[in-house]
Amino acid sequence: MKFRDLKLGTKQIIGFGCILLIMAGVNVFSIHKMTQLKIEIDEISRNWLPRALAISDINKNTADFRIKQLQYAFAVDPGEQETYKTLMISYIDQIEKNRNTYEALKSDSEARNLYSDSERALYDQFERQLDRYLDLSISHLMLSRENENEEAVALLNDEASDVFNQLSATLLELVNVNKDDAQEAAVRAEETHHASRVIITSLLIATIVLSIFIAGMLVRYIAEPVSALDEAAHSVAAGNLDVTLPVRSRDEIGSLAGSFNRMTTSLREATQKMQQQREALEQANSDLEDKSQRLEKQKTEIEQTNLRLEKQKIEITKKNVELLSTMEELRNTQQQLLMKEKMAALGDLVAGIAHEINNPIGTVTSSTDVTGRCLQKIEIVLEQSSTIEQLRSNPQLPKAIKIIKDNIRVTLTAGHRIATIVKSLKNFAGLDEATYRVVDIHDGLDSTLTLLESEFRGRIEIEKQYGELPKVGCYPSQLNQVFMNLLKNAVQAIENKGVVRIQTRRQDGRVEIKISDSGRGIPAEKLSRIFDFGFSSGSERVKMGSGLVTAFNIIQKHDGEILANSEPGKGSTFTVLLPVR
């Protein structure tokens, strides 16, 4: 069937359906391109930019570490050397933290095929150089401790300097690679945006041209036959009833022509039909005008949408800057909270030790006072007695001597208690050698229990189930800090009376230390977060702030594991696994 033979309604449906189909295509294409643009922006803000920042932080921290290392090498005062050493350790921790951040972003990039081979090769090279530099740094510290200063400085200025220069060059290349990748992503986003605008504009122009073409077709198949019909009507009005219209189509116009040919039999009926057709045509023209206005309105809305997208892009950029600032503030706040928690824990420990030492000191003071008074009595007896018989017959002398002996025994017991506490404190803090060395795990546990005794004496029973353990290579003071945090948590978890059980054994080349308590336990929904910063088991305080986080980090530093199991109402068990080295 030819187009001119279709019904008017069908012609309108086909014409305007084509226009609506194109408009729908424009909208779908716009949504698709905006989605691509958002993906490009997300790649920049959530992957490339944080990755570049992590590399930049590593670069800065390694430079700071190198500066403090040089200052340590030329420092004369032991206090200054200790300060620089502490700062170097903190910079190493920052470097490891930034490496972990970069590794997480790297894994995400590799999963989405966004990680280039050049960056992978540079990062592998950087890791080898960093490990080598850290090994040389440890060698430098060992030489400095052995007072081989000339060898230490030579190592720092020769091989370590060369490795550091190579490390800095590799980091600079990594920064440049990340910068180039981010710029390429930004260019792709800009190209996507530009291409979207060009194609959308082209489709809008094509829609307008097609609308004009369809309007022309409607005019051709509707207006021209109507014009011929109008001329015939004028002829009929003039009295020429022999006018005959040719029937060229089978649509409404063709039907009207046939009807017009038949109207000569009834002029009035023909006139009414002409009026009805004229009204129908006027309505069709009105509909066409409405459609054109709606198309113009849609064009304006698309332009406004493009403007809103531009504004949203600017807002996203601002929010990224604000997010970076907020992350920096959060990092600073976290460091301050960690320091406050450490000071609070130190205050609790000092208060407990002071109480433990004060009791035997009071006993010594009291015994000394009583002994002094007894000696005064003995002096009086000696002055009053002129012979040995009088001295022996005096009943006060044996009594005073007995009191002096008892007080001497009490004083010795108190002194032994003070010596035990001081020895435990010294063993706990690792004052003999605050470095990596081989120690007996049981000594650290016993020293920690001695320092905590004031918190559980008379209330909690300590069960020791020690197995045969080899000595373990570790940082003793740090490992004792882990024992302090876990034992203190266990003691605080028991409200009234209870039991804390300590079990040790050797298993599969590792040392296992279990610390169990009969406290209230930790709910299952919170057990997975106990090693998060600031964890608290509930409204009732059973926490050490950052204590569990510190314990977790220390055990990881020793290549070990720390596990937690708990059942509400029955208690908790913390298991520490350390390799035997």
Q: What is the pLDDT of residue 218?
A: 66
Which pLDDT score is estimated for 540? 42
Closest CA to 545 of 347, 351, 349, 345: 345
Record the tokens describing residue 552, joined without a space.
Answer: 């977790």
Instruction: Check residue 495 and report its DSSP letter.
Output: S
pLDDT at 336: 65
**pTM value?**
0.38
Q: What is the CATH number of domain 433-581?
A: 3.30.565.10
Q: Which residue, 173, 194, 183, 197, is CA-closest to 43? A: 183
The stretches in the chain having pLDDT less than 50 are 338, 431-433, 535-545
User: What angle (nearest 5°) sits at the alpha carbon of residue 130, between those of residues 128 and 133?
Assistant: 110
Report CA torsion sign: 375, 376, 379, 381: negative
Instruction: In whole angstroms, give the CA distance from residue 469 to residue 255.
Output: 109
474 Cβ partners below 8 Å, 6+ apart?
Answer: 436, 437, 438, 439, 558, 578
State the Cα–Cα distance between residues 240 and 535, nearest whole angstrom: 103
Kindly write down the DSSP assignment for every residue of 176-223, as one continuous string.
HHHHHHHHHHHHHHHHHHHHHHHHHHHHHHHHHHHHHHHHHHHIIIII
Per-residue pLDDT at 355: 62
3-state secondary structure of 579: strand
Number of C-beta neighbours around residue 348 at 10 A: 15
Distance CA 447, CA 303 (A): 76
Q: What element of type H or E holds 482?
A: helix 476-493
Helix (H, G, I), strand (E, B) or coil at 452: helix
* Separation CA 20–CA 65 (nearest Å): 66
Are 509 and 580 contacting, i.e. CB atoms less than 8 angstroms apart? yes
Q: Cβ(30)–Cβ(308) under 8 Å?
A: no
**First and final C-alpha spacing in the chain:** 93
Beta bridge partners of 501: 463, 516
* Residue 49: predicted pLDDT: 66
Tokens 């040719």 appear where? Answer: 246
Question: Per-residue DSSP letters for 332-366?
Answer: HHHHHHHHHHHHHHHHHHHHHHHHHHHHHHHHHHH
